[in-house]
Amino acid sequence: MIISRFMTALEPAVFPVRMRRHAILAALIVLAAPPAGVAGPQADDRPPPAETKPAEETPPPGRPARPFTPIPVRFRLADGSRVAGELTGWDREGIDGSFGRRAWAELHHEDVRRLYRRLMDGESAADWVDLGRAMLLVALDQPQAERWAERSFQRALTMSEDTRAAIAAAREEVAERRQMRAEAKAAAQAQRLATGSPEAAAWPPDPWPELTKEQLSAARLEMQSDAEQILEKAGLQLAPIETDHLLFYSDMAGGEAAAWAARLEEACAMLARRLDLPDQSNIFWGKAVVFALGDRDRFRLLEAESFQQLVAQSTYGLCHPVGPKVFISCHRTADADLFGAVLVRELVHGFMHRYRTPFRLPLWANEGLADYYASVLFRNSPLDLERRRAAVGFIRGGGNIDGVLSMSYEDEISPREKMLDHAVGALVIEVMIREQPARFARWVDAVKDGKDWQKALAEDFGIPRRALVQTAGRYYMMND
């Protein structure tokens, strides 16, 4: 039931093959089908007349006649290790002996062919079909075996055209097993994908080291190399548009992509001014990498392959801090204001990761600051309009602002609560900047350096927590 529900929840964009429940279960239980069963009882089970000699049982294809005389064998496994012992039986799935049971797929492809040829009936077209099937199964892990499978099938066809249907059935069976493997692998990968916010990771208040010009240049080259590898995994080849702070990769037309990169530079400049950073200072390690993709499937594939992130339907963009590095990926929506707001809010996360230390502001401020700047630059985005309206309504309806300020990334937060903690946080940030812009920067510095955010409110911002909650509540009772 758990696997069934999980498979249903997966999006075909990340995992392109639709997962069938029976196929997944079969793949997880066993990679090879069980040996063919023995024939059932005859319709007439009366003993033959005494003078009549019973007919000898004809063995199924791929099985030796009984009794089977044990023979000494030596072979290699697929990993190169060598095995020696006495072979006591075999069938189309594998061999038995003093070494235990070994499936053909476990053996090195050259020894599979050699042993099978030794055991089979070389005059039997059916046995050549079975050899081709065995080699196709081996080729699932050892692609070199496929050419021997094709030669075996061709030999069977040369001996009898009647084997064509059996060959087609063997191909279909192996193709189904290949698909089951892919589906099981996709399921296992999906279980390892993260679903939480990358911002939830704990970071220390250790200052980022200041880089020399040479170190910045080397870091930029490394970021570009990383970006190219990420794009290759997603099946993309894109040239970057380079700005002062960014390597901007997009499948949009050049002029349009350059315009979006310029808007992000505008956001960087606004944040730098708010935090009293010197002009032209590059806060990023080398440069931040931004992927802006028009295809949602490519966006989700990039997230899964390179950042092990399972993207929810409601997610349009994410920022991934990787040590000192910053990677941002976004899906371009039809609504330009929404797309712009998503780009800006993820850029703010990346910028704040690199500001002073990687230590995070509390949830309400970390997410609220990102939403605030997205709102400043894209006031008409649906993201801004919907969240702001909901947050103002929450406050006017007597909602508990102080409760929102108590939320953390460790809490179990519903989608509605998540929207509110971002949006209410943005409103509180707006009040702080409006009331005390210089002290807001000092408060951010103190928290980033490891000071308790509530203590920093009283000592560095000049307004204790309770007073801030009351100020924000009064303001939004009268203002939108």
Boundary residue ending a domain (166, 191, 216) = 191
pLDDT for 101 equals 93
Residue 266 and residue 279 share a domain = yes
* Total domain count, the chain: 3
Residue 208 and residue 343 share a domain = yes
Residue 478 and residue 385 share a domain = yes
What angle is formed at CA 423 by the lines to CA 419 and CA 427, rounded to 5 degrees?
A: 165
Residue 39 lies in a domain: no
Whole-number Å distance between alpha carbons of 470 and 474? 6
* Residue 180 lies in domain: 2-27+60-191
Residue 176 and residue 76 share a domain = yes
Average pLDDT along the chain, 480 residues, taken 10 residues at a time: 37 36 34 36 37 43 60 93 93 93 94 95 95 95 94 96 95 92 71 82 94 94 96 92 96 92 95 88 93 92 91 90 96 93 97 97 96 93 85 93 91 68 94 96 97 97 96 94
Q: Containing H/E element for 388?
A: helix 382-396
Residue 40 lies in a domain: no
Residue 263 and residue 123 share a domain = no
Residue 371 lies in a domain: yes
Sign of the alpha-carbon dihedral angle for 246, 247, 250, 254: positive
> Contact 425/216 with Cβ under 8 angstroms?
no
Q: Which residues contact 189 (CB under 8 A, 6 or more apart)?
A: 15, 304
Whole-number Å distance between alpha carbons of 399 and 414? 16
Boundary residue ending a domain (191, 224, 255) = 191
**Stated pTM of the model:** 0.64
Residue 210 and residue 348 share a domain = yes
For residue 154, which of 142, 143, 145, 163 has the smallest C-alpha distance?
163
pLDDT for 146 equals 94
Residue 336 and residue 240 share a domain = yes
Residue 261 and residue 293 share a domain = yes
What angle is formed at CA 86 by the lines to CA 82 and CA 92, rounded to 5 degrees?
A: 85
